[in-house]
Amino acid sequence: MKERIRAIRQYLGPLDEYGRPTFAGAVLAKTSGRGGETAKTTPPGYVQGVRHDRGHLIAKAFGGPDDPRNVATQTQWANRGPMLVAERLATSLAEQGRLVYLRVRVLSHGNTALPLGFIVEVWADLRPYLELEFYNA
């Protein structure tokens, strides 16, 4: 099996009182292993046909599961823009043989179903490389 960047350890935070994911973290390394699962979970705030994605906090490519604690409603812009930038940086660092930690925090407010935004952190060899905060717009 070809080596790819995979989560060798994952941490999924609890759902909040409204059923929204709160955070997820993963240690990434180059290893053989399976990818994740396509998101079939319908997270709070998801509306099909209005530019929403069922977005993995820990990417499917890294082995992120289809689990309500790992899937949040993301606008297509958020999922395919800044989230993808962070995932590509994490992949690049791990391909260099570095030990990479990825953490995604979901920013929610009150009982609003759609997350307001996300904070994504990428660390390598215990040093911060990226902290990206963006709106879910």
**Domains, in order of start, for the chain:** 4-135 (3.40.570.10)
pLDDT digits (tens, 9 = 90+) for 105-127: 999 999 999 999 999 999 999 99
d(CA 59, CA 61): 5
Q: Which residues pair with 4 in a beta bridge?
A: 31
- SS3 string, the chain, reads CCCEEEEEEEEECCECCCCCECEEEEEEEEECCCCCCCCCCCCCCCCCCCCEEEEECCCHHHCCCCCCCCEEEEEHHHHHCHHHHHHHHHHHHHHCCCCEEEEEEEECCCCCCCCCEEEEEEEECCEEEEEEEEECC
Q: Which amino acid is at 95?
A: E
pTM of the model: 0.94
Q: What percent of the chain has pLDDT over 70?
A: 99
pLDDT digits (tens, 9 = 90+) for 80-92: 999 999 999 999 9
Closest CA to 81 of 21, 3, 135, 13: 135
User: Could you give the angle at the alpha carbon of 50 between the alpha carbons of 44 and 54, nearest 5°?
Assistant: 45
